[in-house]
Amino acid sequence: MTENKSNVTPALAAEMGLSVDEFARCEGILGRTPNLTELGVFSAMWSEHCSYKSSKIWLKTLPTEGPRVICGPGENAGVVDIGDGDAVVFKIESHNHPSFIEPYQGAATGVGGILRDVFTMGARPIAILDSLRFGSPDHPKTRHLVGGVVAGIGGYGNCVGVPTVGGECQFHLSYNGNILVNAMCVGIARADRIFYSAASGAGNSVIYVGAKTGRDGIHGATMASAEFAEDAGEKRPTVQVGDPFTEKLLIEACLELMAGDAIVAIQDMGAAGLTSSSVEMAGKGGLGIELDLDQVPTREAGMSPYEIMLSESQERMLMVLRPGSEAEARRIFEKWELDFAVIGHVTETGRLILKMHGEIAADIPIGPLVTEAPLYQRPVQPRDKAAEIDPSALPARDPLDCLKRLIACPDLASKRWIWEQYDHLVMGNTVKRPGGDAAVVRLNDSGKALALCTDCTPRYCRADPERGGMQAVAESWRNLCAVGATPLALTDNMNFGNPEKPEIMAEFAGAVAGMRAACLALDYPVVSGNVSLYNETSGSAIWPAPVIGGVGLIADAAKAVDLALKHDGNTLILLGETAGHLGASLYLREIEGREDGAPPPIDLAAERRHGDFVRAEINASRVAACHDISDGGLLVAVAEMAMAGDRGVTLDSLPNDIAILFGEDQARYLIETASPDAVLAAAKDAGIYAQRIGAICGAALTLPGGGAISVRELKAANEAWLPAYMAGA
Amino acid sequence: MKAAVIIFPGSNRERDVCAALKRASGKEPAIVWHREAELPAADLIVLPGGFAYGDYLRCGAMAAHSPIMREVKARAAKGVPVLGICNGFQVLTEAGMLPGALLANRTLSFVCRDVHLRVENSQTIFSCGYEAGQVIRVPVAHGEGNFTADDAALDRLEGEGHVAFRYCSPSGELTDDGNFNGSARSIAGIFNDTRTVLGMMPHPENVTDPLLGGTDGQGLFDGLVSALQ
């Protein structure tokens, strides 16, 4: 216990990430100087990661309610009603920093953490998606990071037996020193069987289940301090190690216990481990909690209270049980060969009291620890808006040559190499596999299905944060509509640089404003999310990435469509207007080597109108294939449909104009149909611009001027890049 | 046909195979926890896919010593058919119920995708729903499915008609591309001496529903139902 009494100073607090003011506030709350364990608790709870102190004032402006929303942000995951007594439970979370340091374990534990957030709510996880951003392919670390992250995600998800059905993967040099690894998990529960974290019932037992506590990941939420290691003895690195087998057992054991009435409250031990889980459970219940740390199952002897409280060892849960249900709970956890320990009880004191070796190791009033957490309105200084691009000033180019280069570029190249390493079929419900606009996963014993996707276009967000935030939400919504789903709600993963810099805070504020507008216009609320700030290396920030994880509902799984062209003779229809907007486009970057220009404007009313129309046409079974038009524009979208279906297209009514073919105007879809007259008439009635642009036929993509490229050649270019890159070629 | 599906800690494709069995037989399979010492009466025993004990040791090595495996062996010796899929195949080889072993894929990475299989022997309870030489499209999802055995054992498997399926091209040729994981003689599945035990790496249970990308796995389950009715 000598460690606990060691001298706590403002300097030590600063090493743990607490400012002088914040440290003074701790002393004010306690009426004395905190001891080491208490300081650790404050610094973890008040870390950016746990307190959202820089982001909260902006995040609370986002719409979080809707007729179907059962539980919005603030719990482990969001919960949305999907009818028939079922609910979908989902959240996205980042593991950016650990994945850069140790890609395999960093990514694996990211998956583990987000799975726990979902099954903690009483849901069985049914799908994982991963949104990945790596540095430039030329950067010496990128190949190693891609390989490690993909193996880590696969290694965890495959073993746990939850299919990884979708996601995205992009490359840009702004991520050279800070990759983004965002994992989303989706689960299914009964709407009246959702479990929450608020403790109740003074005297009720607090139970620890799962894996043992070790010295891994100590203080992962705030720091890794060398000086501190000298004081506190040996410390392991702050990256945790995942054990998917234990996670699988934990899922089964928790869901088995949740089938009964034993659990009053449950919380997983994620960031800041036992600290945040115990404080959140007691805090939300307005109660106190007393823990006997001698009872915590530990992996090694001699762990201090500080280490036990700040460890981020994986695959652990904290529960409050109803009196008399301990024996049943113990039986279930012993069946699954998991640790089960009564480590304390709920109290009426409102205090967090930690005991070890007969001494009080910490005594903190929980109310102020939670409510008096710092909250900052940081200064905001937007950058100058990027100028619009005049397409007529760009050089003339051969469209097919540009197309071939674009579909082989790192951002558009096939990501098959990645998703074939993920088991995307386990659980036997994957209706639409990875590679489309959205994955579709059937719900057991019903005709229903969920559509799932992750989206963000950081180059838009960098050029104009507000448009970028709006576009991320709109594209997510569009991708769900494109498979025939009704978008329900989203989860957001806000990846930004250092919020203490006004231009970064302006990116954040702008992105939130854009997201808010889109969420409101599209009735697409935010029900959960995560914030990852300080994604900077040597003063240089990542391109901002408010990643949107979208969930939509399909009433009849058999009606879901994908992007693969189906039948020769069918017609290809372009829905939505094309102005030829090339600012911040992939064409500009990949072909002209320029990253300037304003991103495309977004007409949210048109998004809504067009998406609702597409969904109705899909439901009316008039759509054979559908694809949203996004990165790379119209011609890339046509090529993607051709490659997916292994069929050619003859485009006969488009100008051979670079801006029209590659512009990234929003709110557009391509529809393959056998009933073009009906679709065009319906579009006209709905006041939507729709144009027949070609016919499905042959084995080549043919332009109006007669130029053609075989689908086989397109596929070879599209499939070649990533495997060759990973092989070191 | 009443089936019993064995669950080891870490099994994760039991739902998939139960759904396929139920669809084919109309009967809900019995679920048997690995620590049980006794099996219920069953016409078929299934060891499902997954990562038993996390496969932290050799795949299937721990599960092969689970209490229930004594009973599985005893039933198999009496002629009760046993089907091991993916991890179940690995368990069967570790338990000595099938020859050979499954090594890491030649790419050293996990592979999940549809592959083509050629039915080598249709004269068994497992494969009677297919024609010999028929090519079926079935997904795989494994990191360690590279079948190996010594030449004598391979010759014997081939000579006695104990090769169930081989990886092949879409038109049924044995090609290097088709044999994606590097298995000896492209072997994807094998029978025991009495052809009442089948171990296979691919997942027929995942292609028994047109909505999920195919029905080529249906033949295996329909064949079992008709043979064991």
pLDDT at position A231 = 38
Burial A352-387 (b: 16+ CB within 10 A, else e): bbbbbeeeebbbbbbeebbeebeeeebebeeeeebe
CA–CA separation, A205 vs A616, rounded Å? 52
Residues of B in contact with A336 (CB under 8 A): 9
- Residue found under tokens 């075989």: A710
| Closest CA relative to residue B165, chosen from B196, B144, B194, B138 | B138
Is A243's CB within 8 Å of B54's CB?
yes
Which of B50, B53, B213 lies at the smallest CB-CB distance from A161? B50
Is B162 annotated as catalytic? no
CA nearest B87: which of B77, B95, B79, B78? B95
Residue in A606, A598, A609 with CA at minimum distance from that of residue A467: A598
User: How many helices (H) and strands (E) in chain A?
Assistant: 26, 28
Element (H, E) at A432: strand A430-432
Side-chain-facing half-sphere of A442: CA atoms under 13 Å? 23
Chain A nearest-CA distance from B112, in A, is: 5
The DSSP code for A385 is P
From CA B206, how far away is CA B215, in angstroms rounded? 8
- Is it the case that residue B155 has pLDDT exceeding 80? yes
SS3 for B191?
strand
Whether A414 and chain B come into contact, CB under 8 Å, resolves to no
DSSP 8-state code for residue A293? G
Query: What is the per-residue pLDDT for A237?
Result: 57
Q: Chunk chain A into consecutive blocks of 10 residues (it has 729) and report each block's average pLDDT, rounded to whole numbers.
A: 71 91 95 95 92 95 97 96 97 94 94 96 98 97 97 97 98 96 98 95 95 82 39 52 94 96 94 92 95 96 94 94 94 94 96 96 95 94 93 94 98 98 97 96 90 98 98 98 98 96 97 98 98 91 97 97 98 97 98 97 98 98 98 98 98 92 98 98 98 97 93 98 92
What is the per-residue pLDDT for A240? 82
Burial of A404 (0-12, 13-18, 19+ CB in 10 A): middle
- Collect all residues of chain A within an 8 Å Cβ-Cβ radius of residue B16: 426-428
CA atoms within 13 A on the CB side of B99: 20
Q: B-chain residues within 8 Å CB-CB of A115?
A: none
CA A404 to chain centre: 31
- Report the distance separating Cα A129 and Cα A133, nearest Å: 13
Position A406, amino acid: L
> Tokens 């999802």 — which residue?
B141
Q: Is residue B59 annotated as part of the catalytic site, yes or no?
A: no
Which residue of B111, B212, B215, B216 is the best one to mutate when testing the A interface, meaning the one whose CB has the most A CBs within 10 A?
Answer: B212
- A230-286 pLDDT, tens per residue? 333 344 456 788 999 999 999 999 999 999 999 999 999 988 899 999 999 999 999
Reported in sequence order, the residue ranges of A202-329 that DSSP labels E, i.e. its strands, are 205-210, 263-268, 288-292, 316-321
Do A158 and B141 count as a contact with CB atoms less than 8 A apart?
yes
Q: Is A726 exposed, middle or buried (0-12, 13-18, 19+ CB in 10 A)?
A: middle
The tokens for B83 are 């089907």
**ipTM for the assembly:** 0.97
- Residue A3 has a pLDDT of 59
Cβ of A158 within 8 Å of Cβ of B110? The answer is yes
Sequence letter at residue A26: C
What is the layout of strands, in order, in the sheet containing A78-81? A69-71, A78-81, A86-94, A180-190, A124-134, A164-171
Per CB-CB distance under 8 Å, the chain A contacts of B15 are 427-428, 444
**Degrees, nearest 5: CA angle B58-B60-B65:** 110
Spatial separation of the C-alpha atoms in residues A305 and A298, rounded to whole Å: 11
Does the distance separating the beta carbons of B212 and A429 come in below 8 Å?
Answer: yes
CB-based contact, A225 to chain B, within 8 Å: no
Can you give the pTM of this predicted structure? 0.96
Chain B residues at the A interface, defined by Cβ less than 8 Å, are: 9-13, 15-16, 19-20, 33, 49-51, 53-56, 109-113, 139, 141, 143, 203, 205-206, 209, 211-213
At A221 the pLDDT is 57
pLDDT at A220: 63
Measured CA angle at A515 (ends A512, A516), to 5 deg: 85
Q: Distances in Å between the alpha carbon of A71 and those of A191, A260, A553, A697, B156?
A: 10, 21, 17, 48, 61
Nearest to A191 by CA among A322, A281, A63, A69: A69
Residue A86 vs residues A79, A118, A121, A124, A190: alpha-carbon distances, Å = 10, 15, 13, 12, 5
Q: Name residue A359's beta-bridge partners.
A: A356
Tokens of B108: 């050293």
Q: Quote the pLDDT of residue A226.
A: 32
* Number of other CB atoms surrounding residue A30 within 10 Å: 18
Measured in whole angstroms, how far is the alpha carbon of residue A9 from the centre of its chain? 37
Cβ distance B12 to A426 less than 8 Å, yes or no, reads yes
Residue A1: per-residue pLDDT: 44
Using alpha carbons, select from B110, B108, B95 the residue that is nearest to residue B60.
B95
Chain B residues touching A155 at Cβ < 8 A: 110
CA distance B200 to B193: 15
- Residue recorded with tokens 């007529």: A392
Whether residue A219 lies in the annotated active site? no
**Sign (positive or negative) of CA dihedral A247, A252, A253, A257:** positive
Q: Which residues of A touch B32 (CB under 8 A)?
A: none
Helices (H), chain B: 14-25, 67-77, 87-94, 151-159, 218-228
Domains of chain B: 3-228 (3.40.50.880)
- If residue A715 lies in a helix (H) or strand (E), which one and from where to where? helix A711-726
Hey, is the C-beta of A442 within 8 angstroms of any chain B C-beta? yes
Buried b (16+ CB within 10 A) or exposed e, A549-570: bbbbbbeebebbbbbbbbeeeb
The closest alpha carbon to A634, from A584, A598, A597, A670, belongs to A670
Please state whether B172 falls in left (phi above 0), alpha (psi between -120 and 50) or beta. left
Angle between helices A604-619 and A465-482 (to 10 degrees): 10
Q: A345 pairs with which residues across the strands?
A: A205, A290
CB A489 within 8 A of CB A450: no
Tokens in use for A379?
């200064």
